[in-house]
Structure 1
Amino acid sequence: MTTVVWPVQGLWLRTADVDLRVMTEADLASVCDSFPADVEQDPAATRYALLDEGSNRRAVVAQSYWRALGTWSPASWALPFVARNGDGDVLGMQWLEGPDFSTDRVVDSASWLVAEVRGRGLGTQLRTAVLELAFRHLGAGAAVSSAVVANAASLGVSRSLGYRDTHTSVLEHSGETLQHVRLERDAWVASGRGASVRIGGVGPALPYFGLGDEDD
């Protein structure tokens, strides 16, 4: 019998068109190969002077994944979900994060999609899936997100799911204005938007979030 070393990687979410599973080492090459050139990465991430741009972008993807699981604690965690279609092709990634979760029970999210599948509503499905996980199973009280005001697609997803504008800030590295939004748990549950999302693998993962048992 094989021992499951990290049960968090057994979490899975399923929507009408997308299967989401927590990233593993086996996903790394395909995710890096699929990562779009127009997706901005963390400007504070390490860059290597002797690598070209493509190699540096792959390094940021890899180190972000390793950091997420390697520094995990119930107080602060990050879930990197790989999104695939029914044929197993990588469509993108959806992150769900609880950077101060034991204190405030607030989750944040970020995502990207490969260019050829954008505009089909898949971003809404990805966000719906992780919100249902956060609110129904992880005890989140609220979800926040943010996007530059020019990113109408991201803000459109947020607003379509019930997020409300809260405030703006300015990005130091670019000077762009960032719109912040927030969604409360009660509003999400009342909306019923996550009813069609299928979720599995929750029970064994709960202790890693500092949570008790749940029927899976």
Structure 2
Amino acid sequence: MAGVGEVWPVHGLALRTTDVELRVMTEADLDAVCRALPADVELDPAATTYEGLDERSGRSAIVAQGYWRAFGTWSPETWALPFVVRDGGGVVLGVQWLEGPQFRTDRVVDSSSWLVPEARGSGLGKQMRTAVLELAFGRLGAVAAVSSAVLANAASLGVSRSLGYRETHTSVLEHSSEILQHLRLERSAWRASGRGRAIEVSGAEAALPFFGLRDERA
């Protein structure tokens, strides 16, 4: 019987930076990811909650359902790809998402991430975003990347600005009334910057059909 890596080669995608490795999350990773999830990471406010669960169990349920939803509803038109971020010793440091909500139509990607507290402030967030941007603009042929963060999230906005994103507009979050800053990075600016040259991408060719793409080098 074929293994999941054979029938679903997206799980073979791996990205390596100077200090961390990003591998596509599998079901086997969920326990470690949920244990590492910091209490201050805001999860989807629209996610289902369950009476009778303590806070940590409830947050773990949201994370698990988010994973299953991502792969259960995957299509080349709309996809969401979670990576587990680990250090050289295999310790889970965080999660990095890359999403293409209308990818076949507009070739635009979005991203989000979190890190454990002890890994913050060390430049790893920038490395993680750099890795998925190089995948998006390189192998996947994205034309632009967008990002957003509340004005109080200086770390996320700082990563975006340092990677060349430009502010476009603001909006207001309905559930909290916080101001959300939106930013955009064009493919031409990314390629001209050369920031992705140090990123090692592996396993992309076998996964391309799941993004509606073909390996032009084949």
The interval holding the TM-score normalised by the smaller chain is over 0.9
Match of 1:147 in 2: 149
Shift of 1:83: 0.2
Match of 1:9 in 2: 11
In structure 2, how many angstroms separate the alpha carbons of the residues matched to 1:48 and 1:125? Answer: 35
Count of residue correspondences = 216
- Segments of 4+ in structure 1 off by > 3 A? none
In structure 2, how many angstroms separate the alpha carbons of the residues matched to 1:201 and 1:93? Answer: 19
In structure 2, how many angstroms separate the alpha carbons of the residues matched to 1:41 and 1:200? Answer: 29
Match of 2:134 in 1: 132
Q: Note the alpha carbon deviations across 1:79-128, whole angstroms, 9 max, x for none.
A: 10000000000000000000000111000000000000100000000000
Match of 1:106 in 2: 108
Alignment of 1:50-129 (within 5 A): 50-129=52-131
Gapped regions of structure 1 (runs ≥ 5)? none
Residue identity (%): 72
Q: Note the alpha carbon deviations across 1:41-98, whole angstroms, 9 max, x for none.
A: 1110000012111111000000001111110000000110000000000000000000
Shift of 1:214: 4.2
Q: Note the alpha carbon deviations across 1:169-199, whole angstroms, 9 max, x for none.
A: 0000000000000000000000000000000
Q: Is the 8 A contact 1:203 1:214 kept in 2?
A: no
Q: Alignment partner of 1:156: what SS? A: helix
TM-score (ref. length: structure 2): 0.97
In structure 2, how many angstroms separate the alpha carbons of the residues matched to 1:6 and 1:28? Answer: 18
Aligned-pair Cα RMSD in Å:
1.1
Shift of 1:161: 0.0
Gapped regions of structure 2 (runs ≥ 5)? none
